[in-house]
Amino acid sequence: MNRDSEKRINRLLENMGVRVRDTRKRLYEEEETALDRLNKYARENPRQWDYTRNGGINLYRKGISSNSLKELKLPKEVEWFNCAGNNLTSLEGSPQIITDSYNCSDNNLRSLKGGPKEVGGRFVCSNNKLESLEGAPKHVGENFVCSRNAVKFTEEDVRAVCDVDGKIIV
Give the pLDDT confidence of 97-129 residue by residue, as tens digits: 999 999 999 999 999 999 999 999 999 999 999
Q: Do 111 and 63 share a domain, yes or no?
A: yes
Domain shared by 39 and 61, yes or no: no
Q: How far apart are CA 96 and CA 111, in angstroms?
A: 16
pLDDT of residue 106: 97
pLDDT < 70 stretches in the chain: 1-3, 5, 13, 16-54
Angle at the Cα of 119 from the Cα atoms of 115 and 122, rounded to 5 degrees: 105
Residues 80 and 151 in one domain: yes
Instruction: Looking at the structure, tell me whether residues 57 and 42 fall in a common domain.
Output: no
Whole-prediction pTM:
0.72
Number of domains in the chain: 2
The reply to whether 97 and 61 lie within a common domain is yes
106 and 149, same domain (yes or no): yes
Question: Within this chain, do residues 38 and 81 fall inside the same structural domain, yes or no?
Answer: no
CA distance 12 to 55: 9
Note whether 63 and 35 are same-domain residues: no
Per the structure, the complete domain to which residue 4 belongs is given by 1-46
Same domain, 91 and 30: no
**Residues 62 and 90 occupy one common structural domain:** yes
Residues 66 and 149 both lie in one domain: yes
